[in-house]
């Protein structure tokens, strides 16, 4: 509890919330607004392209390593600037109508994702630099917690508010809630070791790569980043389809249990994992939580074998999300340890983009596997997909321990 009340950890919690809030406002919530306003389905599909900046944020992240906004310090200045722009853009969307200004709304949504992605870059860098070694596990956990809670506020709750307040007032309310992040930046502490900014744009662009690829075992580290959450990504890619089509649960049951309880389980798992990491340290946390992630996939296999069972469904979803939350907390802490503080923004953006490759590409392959082998064998296969990352982690244990130790000094 003392660690949770630490001002650095609390700041990271609220910044995690600030990071997650804009996501649904340019995604699912905006899609619902367009649907209610009877925008045609092809146009709604085109709106999904506004999320592109989230996958390309590493392109402009060197600017945020190189230059310093002249308020609040190197990282907090960029965060504050992004947050003020986000508030303005959300307010701009609130006074725009899909009926009278559809493409202007699309432009504002695209700008929102661009600034939101930029905020993510700055927050990720700040989190990696401000947290001390014993705080990284809890810091990663509360960051995930804040992010998920914000997605709930700007997603499900925003949809509920829209039914009573209307869309414009709902977006205005979201802009007001965004000010939570501004207050957190204002009151948040500066990192004790902020690193030295790159001396030139050339250094800001080339430096992160040169520094990272000069390390011992760098290619194995990159492979570990890709493989660690791969089995979890495979299992999660078709979970909703499995529960509805494979197990014949209703959409309402899946929404309540899988989404509602799943969110709660992920938050609990992340926080519990953060507490345990303070005792286990990084390597043991990655290993134990990774094993739990892999085993949790087998619970879906058991559900597929047994058939429709509410108690088993609840256990399976709770177990999978608890393990996934713990694994995510450890993995985010691992990425933080890997960053050099002179290039934190760019290196974290690149490493997190690399880690997301599995989630991006497993979807099409998952569908092919289920069609060819059925749900039971598919979920056993997702367990097998989790093993290479665990084996590589064990092989790389000395490198991981050495990297964590070097980051402390």
Read off the pLDDT of residues 61-86 as tens digits, 9 standing for 90 and up. Answer: 999 988 888 888 888 999 999 999 99
- Contact partners, residue 341, CB within 8 Å, separation at least 6: 128, 129, 191, 193, 194, 195
- From CA 227, how far away is CA 229, in angstroms rounded? 6
Buried-exposed string 298-321: b where 16+ CB fall within 10 A, e elsewhere: bbbbebbeeeeeeebbeebbbbbb
Tokens found for residue 240: 């909703």
Tokens found for residue 371: 């069609």
Read off the pLDDT of residues 386-409 as tens digits, 9 standing for 90 and up. Answer: 999 999 999 998 888 887 776 665
For residue 109, the model assigns a pLDDT of 93
- From CA 400, how far away is CA 136, in angstroms rounded? 15
Q: At residue 296, does pLDDT exceed 60? A: yes
Model's pTM, two decimal places? 0.79
- Which phi and psi angles does 39 have, rounded to 5°? -70, 140
Percent of the chain at pLDDT above 90? 31
Report yes or no: 127 and 274 within 8 Å, Cβ to Cβ.
no
- Which phi and psi angles does 261 have, rounded to 5°? -70, -30
For residue 255, the model assigns a pLDDT of 67
Q: What is the 3-state composition of the chain as percent helix, strand, coil, each rounded to the nearest 5?
A: 85, 0, 15
Report yes or no: 184 and 43 within 8 Å, Cβ to Cβ.
no
Q: Can you list the alpha helix ranges (DSSP code H) found in 70-178?
A: 74-94, 102-130, 136-152, 158-165, 167-177
Sign of the four-CA dihedral 300, 304, 305, 311: positive
CB atoms under 10 Å from CB of 188, counted, come to 24
35-39 contacts, C-beta under 8 A, 24 or more apart: 36/162, 36/167, 37/97, 37/98, 37/99, 39/98, 39/102
- From CA 189, how far away is CA 6, in angstroms rounded? 11
Read off the pLDDT of residues 13-23 as tens digits, 9 standing for 90 and up. Answer: 999 999 999 98
Tokens found for residue 278: 């303070």
| Domains parsed from the chain with CATH numbers | 1-194 (1.20.1250.20), 201-409 (1.20.1250.20)
Read off the pLDDT of residues 337-364 as tens digits, 9 standing for 90 and up. Answer: 888 888 888 888 888 878 776 666 676 6
Exposed, middle or buried: residue 116 (CB in 10 Å: 0-12, 13-18, 19+)?
buried
Tokens found for residue 118: 């930029």
Read off the pLDDT of residues 318-330 as tens digits, 9 standing for 90 and up. Answer: 898 889 888 888 8
């Amino acid at each position: 509890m003392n660690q949770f009340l630490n001002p650095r950890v609390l700041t990271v919690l609220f910044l995690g919330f600030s990071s997650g809030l804009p996501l649904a406002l340019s995604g699912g919530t905006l899609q619902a607004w367009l649907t209610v306003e009877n925008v045609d389905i092809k146009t709604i599909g085109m709106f999904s392209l506004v999320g592109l900046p989230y996958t390309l944020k590493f392109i402009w992240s060197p600017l945020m390593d190189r230059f310093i906004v002249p308020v609040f310090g190197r990282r907090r200045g960029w965060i504050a600037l992004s947050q003020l722009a986000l508030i303005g853009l959300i307010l701009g969307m609130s006074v725009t109508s899909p009926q009278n200004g559809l493409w202007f709304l699309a432009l504002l949504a695209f700008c929102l994702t661009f600034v939101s992605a930029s905020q993510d870059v700055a927050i990720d860098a700040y989190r990696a630099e401000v947290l001390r070694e014993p705080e990284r596990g809890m810091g990663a956990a509360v960051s995930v917690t804040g992010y998920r809670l914000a997605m709930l506020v700007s997603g499900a709750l925003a949809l509920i508010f829209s039914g009573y307040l209307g869309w414009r007032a709902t977006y205005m309310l979201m802009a007001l809630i965004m000010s939570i992040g501004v207050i957190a930046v204002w009151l948040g502490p500066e990192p004790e070791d902020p690193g030295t900014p790159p001396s030139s744009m050339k250094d800001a662009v080339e430096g992160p790569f040169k520094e990272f690829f000069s390390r011992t075992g760098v290619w194995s580290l990159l492979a570990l980043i890709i493989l660690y959450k791969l089995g979890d990504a495979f299992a999660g890619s078709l979970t909703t389809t499995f529960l509805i089509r494979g197990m014949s649960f209703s959409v309402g049951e899946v929404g309540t249990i899988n989404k509602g309880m799943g969110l709660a389980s992920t938050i609990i798992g992340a926080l519990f994992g953060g507490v345990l990491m303070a005792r286990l340290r990084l390597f043991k946390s990655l290993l134990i939580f990774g094993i739990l992630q892999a085993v949790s996939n087998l619970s879906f296999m058991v559900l597929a074998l047994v058939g429709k069972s509410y108690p088993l469904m609840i256990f399976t979803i709770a177990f999978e999300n608890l393990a996934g939350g713990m694994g995510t907390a450890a993995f985010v802490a691992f990425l933080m340890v890997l960053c050099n503080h002179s290039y934190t923004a760019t290196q974290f953006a690149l490493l997190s983009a690399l880690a997301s490759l599995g989630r991006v590409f497993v979807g099409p392959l998952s569908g092919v596997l289920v069609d060819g082998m059925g749900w039971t064998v598919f979920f056993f296969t997702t367990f097998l997909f989790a093993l290479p990352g665990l084996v590589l982690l064990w092989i790389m244990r000395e490198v991981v321990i050495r990297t964590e130790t070097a980051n402390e000094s």
